[in-house]
Amino acid sequence: MLTRRLFCVGMLLILAGVTPALAQSIVVASTTSTQDSGLFDYILPLFEKETGIDVKVVAQGTGQALDTGRRGDADVVFVHAKAQEEKFIQEGFGVKRSDVMYNDFVLIGPKSDPAGVSGMTDIAAALVSIKAKEAPFVSRGDRSGTHSTELTLWKEAGVDIEAAKGPWYKDIGQGMGAALNTASAMNAYVLSDRGTWLSFRNRGDLAISVEGDKRLFNQYGVMLVNPEKHPDVKAELGQIFIDWLIGPEGQTAIGEYEIDGQQLFFPNASGQRI
């Protein structure tokens, strides 16, 4: 089915006077976590080899990636903030949201553990302790899915983080890799998706402090940018990428991606969790 669709797309391009080799590319606005974790470096060559479609990734925070889609500067959006994704669809900027994969967030912190939270499984209690002791904390502050989750967790912990901010709380406005590097340099706590943490090499004195809370679940979704809003969107090619991603080949590739024997993402286009 996929091969037949690719043949049809190629014939349409030829009839339109467009050289397929020049037109067979799409732009995917995605998160820094999918890029920094190395996932795209693993799965995109497999997709490109099978389809001949070149994927250009714009790695941003989820909020920025959604804005890129709203402007029509991407064909596909692949992010991890479900409420924001559903709003994107409701506003008419996207065509159908599909689950792709999940992993979880982890609270990273210095091994010296100045807040005394290491080994806890209650993320809200850990954040309360960090605030009470004003232990160094790095926030992405970039409207990403991770930043959105962090703000939600502070709220659930009963902490008004806007009012509580002080020298202990560093808001950097950058991606996950930069946030981890800053935390490593400062010996600070930081919320990270597990995939980026597992691929991060500049750990210094950092380790996982808190994990396992169900509130740390991290779902990723994919959407085609609405061609009715932006006629230049390569809807056919973008849908081929989405179908591959949530189909058997893409789901298998996602599940096979590992670092040091650890699986970074768990495919769940079917809606099931391990």
Residue keyed to tokens 């058997």: 248
Measured distance CA(76)–CA(258) in Å, rounded: 25
Average pLDDT rounded to a whole number, residues 227-240: 97
Q: What is the pLDDT of residue 14?
A: 43
Residue 23's pLDDT band (boundaries 50, 70, 90)? low
**b/e per residue, 9-18, with b = 16+ CB within 10 A?**
bbeebeeeee
Q: How confident is the model at residue 274 (pLDDT cuts 50, 70, 90)?
A: low
The pLDDT confidence band at residue 22, using thresholds 50, 70 and 90, is very low
The answer to whether residue 43 scores a pLDDT higher than 90 is yes
* CATH 2.50.20.10 for the 2-102+219-267 domain, yes or no: no
Instruction: Tell me which residue has tokens 């980026």.
Output: 196
Cross-strand partners of 109: 207
Section 79-95 average pLDDT: 96
Question: What confidence score (pLDDT) does residue 273 get?
Answer: 62
- Largest alpha-carbon pair distance within the chain? 67
Taking phi over 0 as left and psi of -120 to 50 as alpha, with beta for the rest, 200 belongs to beta
User: What pLDDT shows up at residue 157?
Assistant: 98
Q: Domain spanning 104-216 has what CATH number?
A: 3.40.190.10
Instruction: Tell me the pairing of strands 169-171 and 189-193.
Output: unpaired
CB-based contacts of 128-134 (< 8 A; 24+ apart in sequence): 128/157, 128/158, 128/159, 130/189, 131/157, 131/159, 131/164, 134/166, 134/167, 134/168
Q: How many CB atoms lie within 10 A of CB 164?
A: 12
What's the pLDDT tens digit per position in 142-160?
988 999 999 999 999 999 9
pLDDT over threshold 90, residue 193: yes
Pick the closest to residue 38 from 216, 153, 194, 146 (CA basis): 194
Q: What is the predicted pLDDT for the residue at 3?
A: 53
CATH 3.40.190.10 occupies which residues in the chain? 2-102+219-267, 104-216
